[in-house]
A and B are shown apart, each in its own frame.
Chain A
């Protein structure tokens, strides 16, 4: 027995118009300063105005939002009393919006205790709309929330199925202005979701197709979206790919590349998509000797030659590194600009945080402490995994 959970998804050109018909009194947009600066907040406000809904804005969400930030956002929500909470942005503002919504409805809960157990009893005060402005996180269609514990420099995987959005808006125009670097980082995040959603131990028949299609779209359209931001077809297909991958992994799980990426991101503030994509090939190589079949299937679906399961899994890792190169992303931690000494100083913490990340439970081969340490070291140097 398992669930497939999804918001109503309004997608394609003009999807934002769905806001014009909303019923309600007040909306609180949770976003970041950039969204305001580039005019996307005003654009969304205009639609709410057409619906006759008063709009308030909390634009203090930082990359890798902290517990303190969402507590401040919840305080604003308690003051404004919105009946719509709107997460506008990439993964950080959308995750923050989910957390703000939970804390607004359930002030008795600590952020770190937002867990997928029991009942939350949401939707008594407000409902949630998510509007994706990047093409990668899939946060608009997942219930997962990643918050950062700034004291321990650790990312926490939180969330409850109830905090899924009521409406997810996937309008390619909202992502059209992304610069190439952000396009690459977030697009690779979508690929990692697709690959891990397809290959983790919690995958299901209902998620497999979404992950396969998302992977195929990313391999085909990400290089185009990065090299020419005006390529509207590539932009739209990447926006759809991110949502497909979000639905796929969100109803299965991510896995070890996410665990390692969260760990690195928590310690060194490497952008999420860049971090998880960097680790993905190493984790595939680690899984390949024991559980190569699903990687080989995915590689075949995308159109890579299949020379037997383990070789195909390793070839997939190679293709992912190629794609990273093509879009200008690092394929080793050293290339990501992290000093070896600083990295080695943090190694025990990196290993410990990765092993205790919630995404680690779905790994199809469980690494020991020493193997995890080796994986981090191999990834630093860019050495293909051979153990």
Chain B
């Protein structure tokens, strides 16, 4: 059954997909750093939403929808509009291309992120496996 995006249930299912991915476990085995994903309001969605995803050595340590980007500590922030996130989840937009075209904005140690392109790709593979229903 499809899970509504954005929702706490959705991000927990995303975390579950990541934790079930051998490819992510391999590629992110050295990764240490928590993320906050910011889904910004646009014409397709009425409010800005925040997700926290803790990542450590190839596994998700915690994942939840949070009240604001200050509600949890994180080292990395990725923000984009609801529509941009939707296209990424649907596999229509590669997030790396999205970053290059400034559809996504990244805050954090970019040099470190660039050393993990395979992890990024595996996260996209995981997100595409979440059965998602988009609310508006």
Q: Check B117–A115 contact: CB distance below 8 A.
A: no
Size bracket, chain A contacts: 20 to 34
The verdict on B118 contacting chain A, using a C-beta distance below 8 Å, is yes
Q: Check A117–B26 contact: CB distance below 8 A.
A: no
Most buried by B among A3, A110, A358: A358
* Partner-contacting stretch, out of B11-19, B45-53, B60-68, B100-108: B100-108
Residues of the A chain whose Cβ atoms lie less than 8 Å from the Cβ of B106: 117
Q: Check B117–A358 contact: CB distance below 8 A.
A: yes
Q: Check A1–B110 contact: CB distance below 8 A.
A: no
Beta-carbon contacts under 8 Å, B97-132 to A = 97, 99-103, 106, 110-111, 114-118, 120-122, 125
Q: Check B116–A366 contact: CB distance below 8 A.
A: no
When C-beta atoms are compared, the residue in chain B nearest to A3 turns out to be B101
Residues of the A chain whose Cβ atoms lie less than 8 Å from the Cβ of B3: none
- Once bound together, how far apart are the Cα atoms of A8 and B118, in whole Å? 34
Residues of the A chain whose Cβ atoms lie less than 8 Å from the Cβ of B74: none
Given A110-B111, A113-B110, A113-B111, A361:B101 Cβ within 8 A: no
Q: Check B97–A202 contact: CB distance below 8 A.
A: yes
Residues of the B chain whose Cβ atoms lie less than 8 Å from the Cβ of A2: 97, 101
Q: Check A117–B97 contact: CB distance below 8 A.
A: no
- Once bound together, how far apart are the Cα atoms of A368 and B125, in whole Å? 13
Q: Sample 28 A-B pairs with CB under 8 A, ordered by A number.
A: A1-B101, A1-B103, A112-B111, A112-B114, A113-B110, A113-B111, A115-B110, A116-B100, A117-B99, A117-B100, A117-B102, A117-B110, A161-B100, A201-B94, A202-B94, A355-B27, A356-B115, A358-B114, A358-B117, A360-B117, A360-B118, A360-B121, A361-B96, A361-B117, A366-B121, A366-B122, A368-B22, A369-B26
Tell me the A residues contacting B by CB distance below 8 Å: 1-3, 110, 112-113, 115-118, 161, 201-202, 355-358, 360-361, 366, 368-369
